[in-house]
Amino acid sequence: MLLISYFEPFGRDPLNSTEVICEEIKRVRRDVQFVKLPTVFYESGTVLTSLIKEVNPDTVIMLGQAGGRAAITPEMVALNWIDARIKDNRGQKPIDKKIVEGGPAAYFSTLPVRKIVEALTKGGIPARVSYSAGTFVCNALFYQVMHFIIENRYQIKAGFVHFPYLSGQVLYREEAPSLDLAKSIEGLNLIIELMEGSL
Amino acid sequence: MLLISYFEPFGRDPLNSTEVICEEIKRVRRDVQFVKLPTVFYESGTVLTSLIKEVNPDTVIMLGQAGGRAAITPEMVALNWIDARIKDNRGQKPIDKKIVEGGPAAYFSTLPVRKIVEALTKGGIPARVSYSAGTFVCNALFYQVMHFIIENRYQIKAGFVHFPYLSGQVLYREEAPSLDLAKSIEGLNLIIELMEGSL
Amino acid sequence: MLLISYFEPFGRDPLNSTEVICEEIKRVRRDVQFVKLPTVFYESGTVLTSLIKEVNPDTVIMLGQAGGRAAITPEMVALNWIDARIKDNRGQKPIDKKIVEGGPAAYFSTLPVRKIVEALTKGGIPARVSYSAGTFVCNALFYQVMHFIIENRYQIKAGFVHFPYLSGQVLYREEAPSLDLAKSIEGLNLIIELMEGSL
Amino acid sequence: MLLISYFEPFGRDPLNSTEVICEEIKRVRRDVQFVKLPTVFYESGTVLTSLIKEVNPDTVIMLGQAGGRAAITPEMVALNWIDARIKDNRGQKPIDKKIVEGGPAAYFSTLPVRKIVEALTKGGIPARVSYSAGTFVCNALFYQVMHFIIENRYQIKAGFVHFPYLSGQVLYREEAPSLDLAKSIEGLNLIIELMEGSL
C-alpha cells in the first residue's frame, strides 16, 4: 500500500500546492492513502510516523511545496539539520539544530529518484533530481521519517518530492515559476504508477 | 478581422512556443487569420506588413517566445533599436542600429495591455505587463509594424505579446520556467476573445 | 561642466548605493557638481531641471540604484510611462500614467552608452547596456530631464546610469548580487573621465 | 598549522576565482600552507589526503568556485554522491555514483560554519551558510577528505568554502553575480584569522 503525505499552507501562502494536488487526486485514487500534515517541526513527523506504524505501507511518499522551483524535484537526501528562515505554523523558528541528536548527518531517499525524474520527463513534465530539501519543515519531516523507518528496520521505501507553485499561486507574484494543476496531478499520478509497478 | 503572427524556431530551440500554440488554436479559430514569420530581421516585418495591406485587419497581435519568463507578457513598447546577442535565421547579428532611420525612439502598443493582463490573471493564467520586448527580431518586428501602421494612418490596433517556453521545451533545461500548452492556448484564447469584444 | 545627480534611499533600503558612492567621490572630484534628489515623482525632475537651467552643464549624468542587477548599466531609453510597484518617498504610487502628456513615447540617452560599457569592461568592472530603466522614479526623472533638454533645445548631453547594490547592502539579503564600493567608485570615475574626454 | 587547498580552472572558465585569490594571499600569508588541486574526481582527494598525512595540519580549508552565487558560502555538508553535469579535467563525467562505497550518506563540516558567516558579515562581506556543495568535484573532494580524517581518527578540523566569481570573470557574462578580488581576499583573510584564533 502507498501512503502519501502533503502539507497545509505555511508562511504567507493561502494555499499549499501539494494540498490542492492531493485533494484532487485522492478522489480518484482510492487505493492510495493520503494524509495532510501540519507545517510544524516534529509534530508533522509524529503524525506521519504514527500513521506508518498503524497502516504499515509498502511505500511512503512525502510531498511539499518548493516555491521558486520550476520543476518537480524528488529529493535525494534528508539532512539532520534545521535552519528555519521563517516561522512554522506553531511560531517556532529553530536555528542550527540537529533534528535527531546522535543521528547520522543524512539519509538517502530509498525511492528510485532517477527513475522518477526519467518517467516525468518522458511524460513531458519538467523534473530534476534535487540534492537539498532545504532546512525547514519539509526536510525535518523527511529526516524524521527516514530515521524512524531505519531505526525500526521497517521494509518501507520512503522519500520526499517537492512540487512547484501552481500557476494560480503566482498570479500576483508574476516572476515566480509555476506548474499547472493539470500537469502537477499528471506528475503525481506518474509517480504513483511508477511506485505501484504499473508504469 | 483579427490577424495573429507567430515565429518559427530560432537559436538552438527546435520549437517556438508560439508556433506550437498557434498550430493548435488555428484549427478551432477559423475566424482568426494566422501567419508564421521567419525569425529574420526586416524580412519578418516585410511579410507581415504586406499581409496587413492585403487583408486590412482590425487588430494585429504579434506573438513571440520569451524563454526565461514565467508569465504571458503583453509588451508596452516597441523600441527603435537592434542589439542582437545571437544570430537570426539568416545569420545576421546587427548591433547598435536603428530599425527605422529617422523613426521615433519608440511606439506604444495600441492593444489594451493592462486589460489583457487583468483578463489573463482573472482566468488563472500568470501574466504581467512588460516594458521591454528586447532588442532582437521580436522587438524589430513590433517596431516595424507599428511604424507602418502609423505612417500609413491605418486604423488598426496592434501590439506584441511574449509567451514563455512550453513545459515540453524545458525538460532538459530544468531550471527554466515554463507554461503548460493547455494554459498557453487558454491564454491566447482569452486575448482573442477580449480583442473580439466577446469577453 | 559635468552635473551628476543621485538619489536618497527609498523603499525599505536604509541606504541608496548612488548616495554612498557620490558622497565618497565628491570629496575628490571638486570639478564635478553633485546633487542629491528626493525619490519622489516629478519633484526629483523639478529639482534637477532647475539646477540645469541655473548651472548650464555640458553633461548631465543621472544615477540610480537597481537592486538585483549585477553590473553597472547605462540606460539606453527613457520611457514616457509610470507604473509604480512601491510608493515613492511622498507616498505616491501612480499606475499607467504618462510622465508628460503629449510627449513622445521615449527618448534615447545622448550619452555614449556603448562606449561607457566598453570603458568599464576594459577597466575590469561588470557593465552592460540596459534597455529598460524601469517604470518608477528613476525612469521618470530620466524622461523629464530628456524632455526638458530637448524642448528647450539645450546642447546638453544627458543620460541615466543604474548601479547595483553595494556589498554592504546585501549582507542580510545574501542572494542579491552586489558591487563593492571601491569598484563602484572606480566605475563612476571611469564614466566621469570618459565624459570629460580625459580617458 | 593551517592548510588551504584551491582548484585549477575547469569547464570553459579560463580562471578559477580560488586560484586567483590564493595566488595573491599566499605571498603575504607565509604561515599558511597552500596547495593547488586538479579539478579531477578522486585525484584531487588523493593529492590532498597525502599532503594532510605528510604535514599533519590542525585545520584544512578546501576552497572552490561556485559561479552564480553572490556570497562566500561555507558548506555545511559533504554528500556521498556524484552527479556530474560537465566533464572534469580528465574528461570524466560520472553520474549517480557514491564517492566512497559503504561510506555514510554525508559528513558535516567540522569548521565553525555559522561563526565564519558571522565574521564575514560583520566585516561587510556577503556570506551565507550553504547546505549543498553540489555533486561535482568540489563536493567529492570535501567528502573524501572528511572520510579520510574520520576513518583515520585525525584530530583535524576540516571544511569547504565556496567563493563567487571574481568581478573580472563576469565581464562577458554580465548577469552573473561576482565578488571583487579585494573583498574576496579580505574574506579569506578573515576566515584564516578566525581559524587561527586571532579574530
Residue written as cell 557593465? C127
Distance from the Cα of D162 to chain C's closest Cα (Å) equals: 14
Domain hosting residue B181, numbered range: 2-195
Chain centroid offset of residue B41 CA? 14
**D177 vs C168, C177, C182: nearest CB:** C177
Rounded to a whole number, what is the distance in Å from the CA of C143 to chain B's nearest CA? Answer: 12
* Banded pLDDT at C135 (limits 50, 70, 90): very high
Other C-beta atoms within 10 Å of B127: how many?
A: 24
**Over 90: is that where the pLDDT of C175 sits?**
no
With beta carbons less than 8 A apart as the criterion, state whether A115 and A194 touch: yes
In this structure, what CATH number is given to the domain that contains residue C28?
A: 3.40.630.20
Looking at residue B143, its amino acid is Y
Q: Give chain A's domain count.
A: 1
Q: What mean pLDDT comes out for the span B10-19? A: 94
| Nearest Cα to Cα of residue A62 among A10, A19, A140, A6 | A6
pLDDT mean over B178-188: 96
Q: Is the pLDDT of residue A175 over 90?
A: no
pTM: 0.96
Overall average pLDDT of the B29-57 stretch = 97
**Residues paired with A161 in a beta bridge:** A63, A74
List C-alpha distances in Å: A193 to A52, A145, D11: 20, 22, 39
CB contact under 8 A, D134 and A132: no
Chain A residues with CB under 8 Å of D76 CB are: 79, 81
> For D14-44, what is each residue's pLDDT tens digit?
999 999 999 999 999 999 999 999 999 999 9
For residues B150, B152, B155 and B157, what is the CA-based torsion angle, rounded to 10 degrees?
-40
Q: Which of A70, A124, A170 sits opposite B126 (nearest CB)?
A: A170
Of D73, D76, D116, which to mutate for an interface test with A (greatest number of A Cβ within 10 Å)? D76
Q: What is the pLDDT of residue A15?
A: 96
**Which of C174, B129, C109 is CA-nearest to residue D74?**
C174
Percent of chain C residues past pLDDT 70, beyond the cut = 99
Q: What is the pLDDT of residue B180?
A: 93
Average pLDDT, chain B: 96
Q: What is the pLDDT of residues C141-166, one digit of tens each?
A: 999 999 999 999 999 999 999 999 99
pLDDT tops 80 at residue A97: yes
Three-state DSSP state, D88: coil
| Nearest residue to A74 (alpha-carbon basis) of A20, A19, A8, A126 | A126
Q: Helical H runs in chain D?
A: 17-28, 43-55, 113-122, 137-151, 181-196
Clarify whether D22 is annotated catalytic: no
The complex's ipTM works out to 0.95
Contact C83 B131 (CB under 8 A): yes
CB < 8 Å & 24+ apart, contacts of C84-91: C84/C41, C84/C135, C84/C136, C84/C137, C85/C136, C86/C10, C86/C11, C86/C136, C88/C10, C88/C39, C88/C40, C88/C41, C88/C136, C88/C137, C89/C8, C89/C10, C89/C38, C89/C39, C89/C40, C90/C38, C90/C40, C90/C41, C90/C43
Residue D12 confidence (pLDDT)? 87
Decide the pairing of beta strands A2-7 and A33-37.
Answer: parallel
pLDDT confidence of residue D142? 98
DSSP-based three-state secondary structure for D63: strand
Apex CA D76: angle with CA D63 and CA A102, to 5°? 140
- Average of per-residue pLDDT values in chain D: 96
- CB B8 within 8 Å of CB B19: yes
**Would you tell me which residues 135-174 of chain C have a C-beta closer than 8 angstroms to some C-beta of chain B?**
135
H or E stretch covering D65:
strand D59-65
- pLDDT of D103 > 90? The answer is yes
How far apart are the C-alpha atoms of A197 and B17, rounded to whole Å?
Answer: 34
